[in-house]
Amino acid sequence: MSLKLYHFPISGPSRGALLAARAIGVPIQIEIVDLFKKEQLKEGFLKINPQHCVPTLEDDGFILWESRAIACYLADKYGKDDQLYPKDLKQRALVNQRLYFDCSSIYVKIRAICFPILFLGETEIKQNLKDDLNTTFDLLEEFLRGSKWVAGDNMTIADTSIYASVSSILAVGWDISKFPNIQRWVLECASLPGYQENQEGAQDFGEAVKKNLKQ
Ligand SMILES: N[C@@H](CCC(=O)N[C@@H](CS)C(=O)NCC(=O)O)C(=O)O
């Protein structure tokens, strides 16, 4: 087996794919693609992924990108059981819903805040963007009402994906004091395999954003 993840630790989606691999427990070789050095635009990487994004997975010649598609593939192919990505139709549908919610809402709103600060010279977080993310967190708070993990009583790849996103914005200093269920889940996530590795990448992401913010 030769499994390789093209990865950049500062990237939330990239950490999401890696957290899933760690939870599954599958050995994976990491190859860093430094986005700050524009390594994703090198000819060799463009041949692998013309969309030039991390994470990108290579499994014995099979190439896949999109972090959540990678997590689903790894869980289906290498999962010891179906706990992380249930086979039961409705349970799986719920995990998928949370994954899409992360992809289309949480991650998108975090990116809307952080990308202009990292790359476009923005120096503050506009109130409408703050409100937008907090409205999404209202929903996450609701999902976690009476539920230990985001899609039920078991940790799934929805948790690894969403935690990778949430940990990025927490490292920027986001206030989640009005979301007690999210706070409790964030503490729970310290038990995720690969948690420390994720924290280090999230910390670097947070520092990169904070250094461009007006004090
Ligand atoms: N929806 C994608 C997002 C991937 C993505 O946008 N990756 C960014 C880093 S966060 C990237 O590689 N950007 C470099 C580029 O597009 O050139 C996923 O979840 O994998």
Check residue 215 and give its pLDDT: 74
Find the angle CA(79)-CA(4)-CA(89) to the nearest 5 degrees.
Answer: 30
Decide which of 78, 97, 118 is a domain's last residue: 78
In a domain, 83, yes or no: no
pLDDT category at 1 given cuts 50, 70, 90 is: low
Q: Give me the CATH number covering residue 157.
A: 1.20.1050.10
In a domain, 143, yes or no: yes
Q: Are residues 73 and 176 in the same domain?
A: no
Taking alpha carbons only, the member of 128, 66, 132 closest to residue 99 is 66
What is the domain range of residue 67? 3-78
Q: Are residues 183 and 109 in the same domain?
A: yes
Q: Are residues 105 and 26 in the same domain?
A: no
- Encode pLDDT of 151-174 as tens digits: 999 999 999 999 999 999 999 999
Average pLDDT, the chain: 97
Q: Determine the residue type at 101.
A: F
Ligand 1 pocket test target in 15, 31, 53 with most atoms within 8 Å of CB: 53
Taking alpha carbons only, the member of 114, 113, 84, 88 closest to residue 99 is 84
Q: Are residues 10 and 72 in the same domain?
A: yes
| CA distance to 109, 134, 142, 173, per residue, from 128 (Å) | 11, 10, 21, 17
Q: Are residues 191 and 100 in the same domain?
A: yes
Is 35 touching ligand 1 by the criterion CB < 6 Å? yes
Expressed in angstroms and rounded, the spacing between residue 95 Cα and the centre of ligand 1 is 21
Q: Determine the residue type at 106.
A: I
Q: What is the mean predicted confidence (pLDDT) over 11-22?
A: 98
Decide which of 21, 46, 78 is a domain's last residue: 78
Find the angle CA(214)-CA(34)-CA(63) to the nearest 5 degrees.
Answer: 130
**Residue 30 bridge partners (DSSP):** 5
Check residue 2 and give its pLDDT: 86
Q: What is the mean predicted confidence (pLDDT) over 103-125?
A: 97
pLDDT at residue 208 greater than cutoff 70? yes
Q: Are residues 93 and 73 in the same domain?
A: no
In a domain, 215, yes or no: no
What total number of domains does the chain contain? 2
Which numbered atom of ligand 1 lies nearest the CA of 41?
Answer: 17
End-to-end alpha carbon distance in the chain: 49
- Encode pLDDT of 58-100 as tens digits: 999 999 999 999 999 999 999 999 999 999 999 999 999 999 9
Q: Are residues 42 and 99 in the same domain?
A: no
Distance between CA atoms of residues 106 and 143, nearest Å: 13
Q: Are residues 58 and 118 in the same domain?
A: no
Which numbered atom of ligand 1 lies nearest the CA of 54?
Answer: 12
